[in-house]
Structure 1
Amino acid sequence: MIASKLIAHRGAALLAPENTLGALSKTKEIGIPWVEIDINRLGDGTLVMFHDDQLGRLTSARGRLADQRWQDVELLDIGSHFSAEYSGERMATISQTLDHIQTLGLGLNLEIKVYPEFTPEQIVFDTIKALDKQWIDFSKLLISSFSTEVLNLLHQWRPDWQCGHLWERIPADWPQLAEALNLVSVHCDHRFLTETQIQVIRSSGLDLYCYTVNDRSRAQQLWDLGVDGIITDNPLALSRMD
């Protein structure tokens, strides 16, 4: 298994504001060895740790991420929506994020977001530059995306990197895609995963990770069926079962 049985989704999103440095620190504090975060792109090309293509859900500002420059967003409060304790949290660049994750000693599941404002080539090329510059231990890096095109570009440009395909429902041609892209893992919505699919994927030698599981009994059921890892907003609650 590449990652761990528990992976903190967006940095344990029920315990700290998602995709923030504070959430990464919380992941380390509660003893979870791997974290899942999102990489996104501003209009000026700055890569940031942020899930949405709009500012409104997590900040008091409005507008598309693609219309922002770093100086437009660097002081935005993205913690107060969670609690007063995190009112000082700010958006983090990917450079800041990678430094913090490695300082904490965490493994990283990095999800590459692709929105219509940018081409897959733009986000992949910029992500590669950032990781080439800063990431040290590639055995502790697992890149995932819902975009087959993103994964194909990574396979072309960095064939040795560990990559997994994200799906909501696993398609019938997943074995062909896994072989063509040299995938190491399958990531899927646990609600649409069947016991037969688990058995077949596990027998293929690929890791299987399920999102987003916050229920203790469901997590235990998935582990019992052979799922490698659970991506969860509340790893503290599930860690008592791990």
Structure 2
Amino acid sequence: MIASPIIGHRGCARRAPENTLGAMTFSRDQGLEWVEIDANLLGDGTAVMFHDSTLDRLTPSQGKLADRDWASVKDLDVGSHFSPAYQSERLPSLEAALIHIRDLGLGLNLEIKHYPDFSIDAITERCIEVLDAHWHDEKRLLITSFNGEILSRLHRARPQWLRGHLWVKLPDNWLEVARILELSSINLDHHHLTETQAQAIKAAGYDLYCYTVNDAEAAERLRRWGVDGLITDDPALIQPA
């Protein structure tokens, strides 16, 4: 297994403000060994740890990330929306996120986002640059994306990096895609996974990770099916009995 049985989704997003340095620290303090975060892109090409294509939901500001540069977002408060205790949290660059996660000793599932506002090449190349500079433990890095072209470019540029394809529902041609892209894992929405699919994925030799699991009954069912890791907003909700 690449990652761990429980992975903090955006750094335990029910317990700390998502995709913040504080959330990464919280995840470590909860005893987690791996976190999942999002890589996104500003208009000036700066990679940031942020999920949405706009600032509206998580910051006091508004507008598209693609219309902003690093100087205009680096001081944005990304913690107060969650709790006053996190009012000092600022929007993190991907560089700062990698350094912090690395220094905490955590493994990393990095999801590379793709929105129509920027090109596949732009986000892929920037993530490669930042990872090359700040992340050197390839066994504790799993890169995932819903976008097959991003994974294809990573396959060509850094074939040694472990890659997983994100899907909501497992497509009929999943095995063909997995072989072409030389994937290490399949990452699925747990609501749509069947036991038969889980068995097929494991029989084919791939790690299987499910998101976003916040229910103890679902977690136990997925474990029985052989799912390797559960990506969760709150580890306390799904700890084995």
Alignment correspondent of 2:71: 71
> TM-score with structure 2 length normalisation?
0.99
Alignment correspondent of 1:151: 151
Alignment correspondent of 2:99: 99
Q: Secondary structure at the match of 1:115?
A: coil
Alignment correspondent of 1:198: 198
Q: How far apart are residue 43 of structure 1 and its match?
A: 0.5
| 1:188 and 2:188 correspond | yes
Q: Deviations over 1:107-151 (max 9, x none)?
A: 000000001111111111111111111111110000000000000
User: 1:149 corresponds to which letter in structure 2?
Assistant: E
Alignment correspondent of 1:162: 162
Q: Deviations over 1:19-70 (max 9, x none)?
A: 0000000000000000000000001111100000000000111100000111
Q: Secondary structure at the match of 2:85?
A: helix
Q: Secondary structure at the match of 2:238?
A: helix
User: 2:134 corresponds to which letter in structure 1?
Assistant: Q
Q: 1 CA distance for matches of 2:60 and 2:132? A: 34
State the aligned residue count. Answer: 241
Alignment correspondent of 1:126: 126
Q: 1 CA distance for matches of 2:154 and 2:4? A: 23
Alignment correspondent of 1:41: 41
Structure 1 gaps, min length 5: none
Q: 1 CA distance for matches of 2:218 and 2:62? A: 37
Q: 1 CA distance for matches of 2:58 and 2:93? A: 16
Q: How far apart are residue 236 of structure 1 and its match?
A: 2.8
Q: Deviations over 1:83-118 (max 9, x none)?
A: 110111100011111110011000000000001111
Q: 2 CA distance for matches of 1:40 and 1:90? A: 15
Structure 2 gaps, min length 5: none
Alignment correspondent of 1:3: 3
Q: 1 CA distance for matches of 2:3 and 2:177? A: 21
Alignment correspondent of 1:26: 26
Q: How far apart are residue 81 of structure 1 and its match?
A: 0.6
Q: How far apart are residue 210 of structure 1 and its match?
A: 0.4
Q: Secondary structure at the match of 2:108?
A: strand
Runs in 1 of length 4+ with deviation above 3 angstroms? none
Alignment correspondent of 2:217: 217
Alignment correspondent of 2:117: 117
Alignment correspondent of 2:140: 140
User: 2:36 corresponds to which letter in structure 1?
Assistant: E
Q: Secondary structure at the match of 1:202?
A: helix
Q: How far apart are residue 190 of structure 1 and its match?
A: 0.5
Q: 2 CA distance for matches of 1:41 and 1:14? A: 24
RMSD: 0.8
User: 1:106 corresponds to which letter in structure 2?
Assistant: L
> TM-score with structure 1 length normalisation?
0.98
